[in-house]
């Protein structure tokens, strides 16, 4: 069993990422790369902790970005492949995106027509090759939460077959699809026939196919063989290079959020108010929604003392969830939430002026390191 970090060595609140666990996930993903002969990119929308990019770069091919800022971060801090996609690029950002991207994926043919001259002129002027792609929408997914379904009815993400323009493929070297969210490879295997039937004749003209993110590769029950079969189907039928771009899988089950009990009270049930907030520090608890595990805690009623845990903001719905403990909570006590590396640092906010958690690393040699802390100026500078 892995040794837990020394949580008492960190300030509160603080995200703590275990470097050895990140490496464990990267090794699993590198096995996929070896078995399937594909390339894997880190999707920065899920995990952008750039102090660990040198480690990630030991294993992965690069990063995938959804904005100029993400692309720049990957370019500056990892120095490997940079793939950039956006539902729509702006005239302001695109010149800079050209300078730092290796692949640029366009959401529609109207965007491709708009920016194709700029791509061509940049390549001609600099001699640096930039590969362009189109995101396709196979109109099939198995995602149960509508807010995360890129293939829902009337989705703005990707070009459907009815809107595909074969006459505009000159200069396009790849296609991209994204249909998964925290799913096993069976969902991908079920998607493959839809992609193949609708877009196969166009994939045949391509150099590469990007199969997007949402692959929960590092989950204990993940079917790796199914993923390899899906990858090989396109490789063998069309001879294309395959890219995957998971974000969460790299950081899954590698991090924690250290918090402190500020007060306890009663209103029908026992309530504990923390210095960590669902609304500010773990927004997916409200948006997804999901209930993060706490070290040493159980489900409501499972242990002797049950509490509703909430943040210190004025939002009535700033509730993390109901948990039971084997003792009565007291102010000053530490609470440690699990699986807090992904979609936390990249989504947190300073609502109510609540301070952002510090960011820490538990090194592979067992040392507690605080990478970054935040204060008033970080709040003020955003306003």
DSSP per-residue codes, 58-78: TTSSEEEESSHHHHHHHHHHT
- Rg of the chain over CA atoms, in angstroms? 22
Helix (H, G, I), strand (E, B) or coil at 289: coil
Which among 141, 138, 143, 140 is positioned nearest to 163, based on CA atoms? 138
CA distance 332 to 354: 18
Q: List C-alpha distances in Å: 234 to 126, 141, 230, 323.
A: 33, 18, 7, 46
312 and 354 Cβ atoms separated by less than 8 Å: yes
CA 60 to CA 350: how far, in whole Å? 32
CA distance 72 to 291: 33
The secondary structure element, H or E, covering residue 172 is strand 172-176
Tell me the C-alpha to C-alpha distance, in Å, between residue 260 and each of 114, 163, 246, 249, 331: 52, 52, 32, 28, 8
Per-residue tokens: 312? 């210190």
How far is residue 10 from each of residues 5, 134, 190, 348, measured CA to CA in Å? Answer: 10, 45, 44, 19
Four-residue CA torsion sign, 36, 42, 46, 49: positive
Tens-binned pLDDT, residue by residue, of the chain (383 aa): 568 999 999 999 999 999 999 999 999 999 999 999 999 999 999 999 999 999 999 999 999 999 999 999 999 999 999 999 999 999 999 999 999 999 999 999 999 999 999 999 999 999 999 999 999 999 999 998 899 999 999 999 999 999 999 999 999 999 999 999 999 999 999 999 999 999 999 999 999 999 999 999 999 999 999 999 999 999 999 999 999 999 999 999 999 999 999 999 999 999 999 999 999 999 999 998 899 999 999 999 999 999 999 999 999 999 999 999 999 999 999 999 999 999 999 999 999 999 999 999 999 999 999 999 999 999 999 99
Token pair listed for 355 = 């301070």
Q: Is 125 helix (H, G, I), strand (E, B) or coil?
A: helix
Read off the tokens for 121. 């002129």
- Whether the predicted model's global pTM rises above the 0.85 cut: yes
pLDDT of amino acid 2: 67
Calpha distance 59→366 (Å, rounded): 22
Residues with Cβ < 8 Å from 295, sequence gap 6 or more? 4, 256, 336, 338
DSSP helix/strand/coil, 50: helix
CB 159 within 8 A of CB 109: yes
Task: Tell me the β-bridge partners of 259.
Answer: 335
Question: In angstroms, rounded to a whole number, what is the distance separating the alpha carbons of residues 360 and 357?
Answer: 9
Predicted pLDDT of residue 3? 85
Which DSSP helix (H) or strand (E) runs through 284? helix 284-287
- The 10 Å Cβ neighbour count of residue 34 is 9
Q: Contacts from 322-327 at CB under 8 Å and sequence distance 24+?
A: 322/269, 323/294, 323/297, 323/298, 323/299, 324/297, 324/298, 324/299, 324/300, 325/296, 325/297, 325/298, 326/296
Would you state the structure tokens that stand for residue 160, as one six-digit string?
């459907």
Inter-residue contact 309 to 333 (CB < 8 Å): no
All domains of the chain in start order, with CATH: 7-14+255-340+348-380 (2.40.37.10), 37-251 (3.20.20.10)
Rounded CA gap, 253 and 117, in Å? 44
Tokens at residue 13, please? 């609140």
Cα 43 off chain centre by: 5
């Amino acid at each position: 069993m892995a040794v837990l970090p020394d949580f008492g060595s960190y300030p509160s609140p603080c995200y703590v990422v275990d470097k050895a666990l990140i490496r464990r996930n990267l090794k699993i993903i590198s096995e996929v790369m070896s078995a399937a002969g594909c390339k894997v990119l880190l999707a920065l929308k899920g995990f952008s902790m750039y102090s660990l990019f040198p480690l990630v770069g030991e294993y992965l091919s690069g990063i995938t970005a959804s904005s100029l800022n993400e692309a720049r971060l990957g370019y500056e801090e990892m120095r490997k492949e940079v793939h950039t996609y956006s539902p729509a690029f702006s005239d302001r950002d695109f010149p800079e995106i050209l300078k730092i991207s290796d692949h640029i994926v366009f959401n529609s043919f109207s965007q491709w027509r708009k920016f194709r001259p700029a791509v061509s002129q940049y390549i001609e002027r600099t001699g640096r090759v930039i590969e362009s792609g189109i995101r396709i929408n196979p109109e099939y997914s198995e995602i149960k939460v509508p807010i995360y379904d890129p293939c829902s009815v009337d989705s703005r993400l990707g070009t459907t077959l009815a809107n595909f323009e074969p006459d505009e493929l000159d200069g396009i070297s790849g296609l991209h699809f994204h249909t998964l969210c925290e799913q096993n490879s069976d969902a991908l295997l079920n998607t493959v026939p839809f992609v193949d039937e609708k877009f196969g004749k166009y994939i045949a003209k391509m150099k590469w196919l990007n199969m997007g993110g949402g692959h929960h590769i590092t989950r204990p029950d993940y079917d790796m063989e199914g993923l390899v079969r899906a990858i090989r189907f396109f490789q063998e039928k069309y001879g294309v290079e395959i890219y995957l771009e998971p974000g969460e899988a790299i950081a899954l089950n590698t991090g924690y959020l250290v918090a402190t009990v500020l007060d306890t009270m009663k209103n029908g049930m026992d309530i504990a108010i923390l210095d960590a907030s669902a609304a500010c520090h773990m927004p997916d608890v409200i948006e997804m929604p999901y209930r993060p595990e706490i070290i040493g805690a159980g489900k409501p009623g499972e242990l002797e003392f049950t509490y509703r845990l909430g943040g210190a903001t004025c939002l009535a719905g700033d509730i993390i969830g109901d948990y039971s403990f084997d003792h009565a909570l007291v102010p000053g006590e530490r609470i440690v939430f699990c699986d807090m590396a992904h979609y936390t640092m990249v989504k947190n906010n300073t609502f109510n002026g609540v301070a952002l958690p510090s960011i820490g690393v538990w090194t592979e040699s067992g040392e507690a390191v605080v990478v970054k802390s935040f204060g008033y100026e970080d709040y003020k500078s955003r306003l």
